[in-house]
Chain A
Amino acid sequence: MKAGDDHGREASLRVLADELRDPLGLLADVSQAFATSLDLDETLENTVAQISHYMHAEAASLFLLENDDSELVCKASAGPVDVVGLRLEADQGIVGKSVASGQVQFIRDVGEDPDFAGFVDATTGFETRSVLCAPLLLRGHCLGAMEVLNKGEGDGLFDASDRHLLQVLASSAALVIRNARRAVELVEQERIRKELELAREIQATLLPGRGNPADPIVGVNIPAREVSGDFYDYYRLADGRMAFSLGDVSGKGMNAALLMAKTSSLLHCLGKGITRPSELLAQVNREVCESVTRGMFVTLVAGIYDPAHDEVCLANAGHQPPMLLDVAGAMTELPATAPPLGILGEVEFPEQRVRLEGRRLYLFTDGVTEAPGPSGGDLGVEGLRAELAAHGALPARERLERVVAELAAREALRRDDITLMVIESPGETAHRYTFEARAENLEGLRVYVDGVLRTMTCAERLRDQLVLAVNEACMNIIQHGYGGDTRDAITLQILNNDGILEFRVEDSAQRVDAARIKPRDLTDIRPGGLGTHFIREIMDEVDYRVPEHGTGNLLVMRKRLSNHEVARDAV
């Protein structure tokens, strides 16, 4: 503030004060003139100047409690010596006493008071004769205190009416200060909110868009706050393979978001040239280690999916194990093989390779598994597995969005970012049907298979035969696998891989000895044993396997949709 302004304001205040001999007038002036000010320092300075002037004080100062109320700091002063910035212990001197007691301190003659600190005089040369100090009280809470020194008229000492006046003015000042503080806080909050919003917008541009529905990789992310520490990315390389990454930066807020932005940018940029996940992570790790704030780190899975070989190659730096789910919803986890990024500069990141073969590979952050489960407590890995399996028939994006929406619905105040990604074979169109192994359910099965086949280019006659073959396979399971109707499940999955239909039928019955399953000799005319013959007659390939999780049976049947069939369908 310029000196000229000071003089101008002082002059006008003096005129104002001269006119307002009534203390209530001053009160109204103090309250109204500054209550709308958003500048707290200016408000305080004006308040002190006005009060000092009105009370004919030689000097006045206002102290506010700071540092968790441990210190009193002078925020404004009027008079020959500027003491703004002076710091006192919260209980020091007359100001401290006023604050501690919540009472007005009135020392008509300082020379006779043992509490007077004395040091102000020694350092400033100002001779204090009379002190009046009132606490700034607002609803029982003390913000600080206001002090006037040496009355400039009469005997130079304050009297009882001054005491009463300062008490009233101090209360009013407290209100002004509180309002100004709140206004400043609101402005600051709004500024921060806008900055975070901008940061979130920038961050959102770092995540991939919705992508092509035919992409074998889909991801979803919901940030808990305006900015996120989670990230994921995927994009197609020039050779047709897909690069992907998913990670979580330790901590929350802006620091985490900045490290997230850096890590995902490095991965996106370097990943186009370095297609070995082990090399990519080693390189990104070195970069992150060079600049990371102590104590921060990044857990991350990055890899390549090769649709031509249906193979995923990935490296896991301290991240939650990705989850491989098969048709029946059984899970295989791929645990981390290296520490998180940003901890040690020279670390190896061993690669893991896995062929999907109709299975789905899910990657996720701890915001997913630590979200509330359906029956309270954390969702956990098993809970996530169950949710994903329950929605297994949905297409990938709908499936992820459904699961994430259910998590969000259970958590009113989301604690953590939620990020979930799936990689699945491109031919997979998620035709999946699970039913209790009972004869009465076969009709529903046939309707389902017929409906799926109608979405494909498949001649009517072949469609009927394929429905029959799948029905026969499931009938065999009911009759011979489970030994009759049961509540146990049969799961069918239908895949279309470039014109080769694959039917995968899985059960949890006793292991079947494939060698004993033979089509009957058709010259021997007798009831029974026809089903297996039908299957072999209709399908190109029939393969009895043990499911990945080791129990039950998996029957894989394949049929090529030939041009001949297609042509006949078209006629």
Chain B
Amino acid sequence: MQCDVRKEAAFDVVTLKGEVDLSTSPAVRQAILASLEAGAPVAIELGEVTYIDSSGVASLVEGYQTAKSRGLPFTLVGASESVMGVLELARLDKVFPLAATLGELTADGG
């Protein structure tokens, strides 16, 4: 799994690639929380995530709740089919703010 963070517009963009599971989700969690603690709005790019399990989803949920409590935007971008499948199973597909592309998000001026 790959987890990279970069600045784009106002956002900290966290790009995840590969498989997010119990062995890799702690790094994801840490990256997300670090950006939020620094006060940055966070966008998580999930287009190249091939697998995510409940521990990965839990990291996203924790990030979402932390962002909410701090009043920061938190958006999942371009979630792959496999990610969406798991979010649907968890009934979280209606909970997370979703964007198809990062451009869509930055154009909104968020």
Of the stretches B9-17, B38-46, B89-97, the one at the interface is B89-97
Chain A residue with minimal CB distance to B85?
A464
> What is the bound-complex CA distance between A472 and B25, given in angstroms?
14
Q: Is B53 touching A537 in the complex (CB atoms < 8 A)?
A: no
> What is the bound-complex CA distance between A162 and B19, given in angstroms?
105
> What is the bound-complex CA distance between A527 and B61, given in angstroms?
5
Does A500 touch B at the CB level, under 8 Å?
no
Q: Is B21 touching A439 in the complex (CB atoms < 8 A)?
A: yes
B interface, size bucket: 20 to 34
> What is the bound-complex CA distance between A461 and B82, given in angstroms?
9
Q: How many Cβ-Cβ contacts under 8 Å join chain A to chain B?
A: 67
How many A residues, CB 8 Å from partner? 26
Interface string of A513-556 (1 = CB under 8 A from B): 00000000010011110110110011000000000000000000
Interface SS of chain B: helix, strand, loop or mixed? helix
Provided the pairs A468-B86, A525-B92, A525-B95 are in contact, do residues A530 and B22 lie with their beta carbons within 8 angstroms? no
Interface residues of B in 48-63 (CB under 8 A from A): 51, 53-55, 57-59, 61-62
Does A288 touch B at the CB level, under 8 Å?
no
Which among B21, B59, B89, B95 is the interface contact of A538 at CB below 8 angstroms?
A: B89
Contacts of A439 in B (CB 8 A): 21-23
Contacts of A443 in B (CB 8 A): 19, 21, 23
Of the candidates B22, B23, B82, B92, the one having the most CB atoms from chain A within 10 angstroms of its own CB is B22
> What is the bound-complex CA distance between A534 and B55, given in angstroms?
12
Does A95 touch B at the CB level, under 8 Å?
no
> What is the bound-complex CA distance between A522 and B89, given in angstroms?
10
Contacts of A528 in B (CB 8 A): 58
> Closest approach, in angstroms, between the C-beta of B18 and any C-beta of chain A?
10
Provided the pairs A439-B21, A464-B85 are in contact, do residues A472 and B61 lie with their beta carbons within 8 angstroms? no
Interface string of B55-85 (1 = CB under 8 A from A): 1011101101100000000000000001001
Binding site for A on B (CB under 8 A): 19, 21-23, 51, 53-55, 57-59, 61-62, 64-65, 82, 85-86, 89-92, 95
Given A446-B19, A446-B21, A527-B61, 13 more A-B residue pairs with CB atoms under 8 Å apart are A439-B22, A442-B22, A443-B21, A468-B51, A468-B89, A472-B54, A475-B55, A525-B95, A527-B57, A527-B59, A527-B62, A534-B54, A538-B89
7 residue pairs A–B, Cβ–Cβ below 8 Å? A446-B21, A446-B51, A468-B86, A472-B54, A475-B21, A475-B55, A479-B22
